[in-house]
Amino acid sequence: MKTSVDQLVSPFDVSALRRDFPILQTETRPGKPLVYLDNGATSQKPLKVIEAERNYYLHQNSNVHRGVHYLSDLATRAFESTRDEVASYIGASKREEVIFTKGTTEAINLVANTFGRKFLNPGDEVIISGMEHHANIVPWHMVREWSGIEVKAIPVTGDGELDMETFHTLLSSKTKLVAVTHVSNTLGTINPVKRIVEAAHAVGAAVLVDGAQAMPHMQVDVQDLGVDFYVFSSHKVFGPTGVGVLYGKSHWLEALPPYQGGGDMIDVVTLQNTTFNAPPHRFEAGTPNIAGVVAFGEAIQYLKNVDLQAAARHEHALLSAATEQVLEQGFRVIGQSSNKVSVLSFISDFCHPSDVGTLLDMEGIAVRTGHHCTQPLMSRFGIPGTIRASFAFYNTMEEVERFGAALKKAVTMLK
- Which active-site residues does the annotation give? 373
DSSP state of 4: P
Could you tell me where the beta strands, DSSP code E, fall in 39-112?
98-101
Cα 225 to chain center, whole Å?
A: 17
Contact predicate 179/127, CB 8 Å = yes
Question: In whole angstroms, what is the distance from residue 233 CA to residue 250 CA?
Answer: 21
Angle at which helices 290-304 and 47-55 pack, to 10 degrees? Answer: 150
Q: What DSSP letter does each residue of 165-198 carry, written as one string?
A: HHHHHH--TTEEEEEEESB-TTT-BBP-HHHHHH
Q: List, in order, residues 6 or more apart from 65 with CB less than 8 Å away.
A: 72, 76, 264, 281
- Dihedral-angle region of residue 332 (phi above 0 means left; psi in -120 to 50 means alpha; beta otherwise): beta
Q: What DSSP letter does each residue of 262-275 carry, written as one string?
A: STTSEEEE-SS-EE
The half-sphere exposure of 215 on its side-chain side, counting CA atoms within 13 A, is: 29
Contact predicate 259/199, CB 8 Å = no
